[in-house]
Every structure is written in structure tokens, then in C-alpha cells.
Chains A and B, each alone.
Chain A
Amino acid sequence: EPEVTQTPSHQVTQMGQEVILRCVPISNHLYFYWYRQILGQKVEFLVSFYNNEISEKSEIFDDQFSVERPDGSNFTLKIRSTKLEDSAMYFCASAGLASTDTQYFGPGTRLTVL
């Protein structure tokens, strides 16, 4: 069964450093998302991506964040200058042919900012 994959599973970085989190969505899906979950808190939407552009973003997704689909299979989230409060699980999700389709989540990247 196709699944969303993410790398790395864990990332430790120093405050102020740039990180890139990678995702490979399910191959025939058209809608891509990043969510984050701070430990013990709820899953929060960051950004959605469709047709090679951002379709929606939350107030969390400020100028320090960017997304890219560089090669038709990978979907990346970049944090330019990490802050302590960026420490969280970051989940990538993808959905099929319509934005109302079920979103399937990847296993997540645990980001720790020291």
C-alpha cells in the first residue's frame, strides 16, 4: 500500500541554523500539507501546496518557513533560522484528486532545536 515517507526521522539542530525536512508524498496525489505537533499538544496546520504553489498557510508559517517541490516527487519544508519553539514533530500529508480527499500522514520528523 502506498505511503507517505519522511526523512530524517530525527533532526537535532542549533538555534539559528537552517533545517530542511523532506517528504515523498503518495505518487498520484496532488495536494500536499505540512503540519506540526508540539509535544503534548494538538496537530496544527502549517501550509498546503497544490499545483506548484502554496494554496493556504497558517499564521505559524511566517517568513522563516518555505516549501518547495523541487523534482516532482519530493516536497520539502525549510526553516531558515530555527528557534527553540520550533521543536516539534513535523508531519507531511498528501491527499488525492480533491482537496476534500482524505489526507494520509507520513511518520513525521522529530525536530529538536537546542
Chain B
Amino acid sequence: GQNIDQPTEMTATEGAIVQINCTYQTSGFNGLFWYQQHAGEAPTFLSYNVLDGLEEKGRFSSFLSRSKGYSYLLLKELQMKDSASYLCAVKEGNTPLVFGKGTRLSVIA
């Protein structure tokens, strides 16, 4: 089974950079996904890592270290609309996604 940990809440200032960490324990690791979820809405895909290293996509980057069971999502140039929950989800083999509890990010002026 999987155990996925991420901070419950974070607060950051508009224009700043924030890093949201995720640690996981699993066997047969087959990818880690980050989703954004605004309150009352569906999770929206942000990024996918299966190999070690950094994946960059505009203001968002995601990093993975498989040996450490660790990932982070980096959000640059924060905007108010980035206030949302950020969900770390792990895939083990061909099983469906297992989600962490999510990190609720508040962006303040």
C-alpha cells in the first residue's frame, strides 16, 4: 500500500515562490502526479514525474527523487488564483491513483 504525506496548509504572498512537499512510501512506483483542486471543483492535472529530476511547465515545476520517496511542487510568481488545494497522487504498478490529503494553499496580498 501507499502512505502519502503532505502539509495540510500553507500561506504565501502574491508574487512569491512556494514549495509544496510530498513524501510517499510505496512498492512498484509507477509515477507521481500533482493536481490542483479549487474548492468544489474537480482535480485538474498539473504535472507528472516518473523519473528523477525536475519537470518545468511555465510557473509550475515538479521534482521527484525516487530513492527518497520525495517530490515537491514549486509555484513561482504566485497569483491570487493559485489559492487552491494541491494534491499529490502516486501510481503503484497499474493500480489507480492514490491521493494524499492535499495541501491547501492560501495566497495573500
Q: Which chain A residues have a beta carbon within 8 Å of chain B's beta carbons?
A: 33, 35, 41-45, 48, 56, 89, 91, 99-100, 102-108, 110
**CB nearest to B43 among chain A residues:** A105
Minimum CB–CB distance for A21 against chain B, Å: 14
List 7 extra interface pairs beyond A41-B101, A44-B99, A105-B45, CB under 8 A.
A42-B87, A48-B96, A56-B96, A91-B43, A100-B50, A105-B35, A105-B44
Contact of B100 among A42, A99, A110 (CB under 8 A): A42
Can you identify 5 A-B contacts, CB atoms within 8 angstroms? A43-B87, A45-B98, A102-B33, A103-B96, A105-B44
CB-based contact B43/A43 at 8 Å: yes
Q: Which A residues are in CB contact (< 8 Å) with B35?
A: 105
Residues of B near A56 (CB, < 8 A) are 95-96
Contact of A108 among B41, B97, B98, B101 (CB under 8 A): B41
A91–B42 CB distance below 8 A: yes
Docked-complex contact A100 and B44, CB < 8 angstroms: no
- Give chain A residues whose Cβ lies under 8 Å from the Cβ of B96: 33, 45, 48, 56, 103
Asked if residues B91 and A100 are in contact (CB atoms below 8 Å), the reply is: yes
CB distance from B48 to the nearest CB of A (A): 6
Q: B99 contacts A42, CB within 8 Å?
A: yes
Q: Which residue of A lies closest to B41 (CB)?
A: A107
Contacts of A89 in B (CB 8 A): 40
Q: Which residues of chain A come closer than 8 Å to B94, judged between CB atoms? A: 99-100
A108 touches B42 (CB 8 A): yes
Report B28-79 residues with CB < 8 Å from chain A CB: 30-31, 33, 35, 40-45, 48, 50
Which residues of the other chain, B, contact A104 by a CB distance below 8 angstroms?
Answer: 45
The CB with the most chain B CB atoms within 10 A, among A44, A48, A100, A110, is that of: A100
B48, A102: Cβ atoms closer than 8 Å: yes
The 4 residue pairs across chains A and B that have the minimum distance between CB atoms: A105-B42, A43-B99, A45-B96, A99-B94
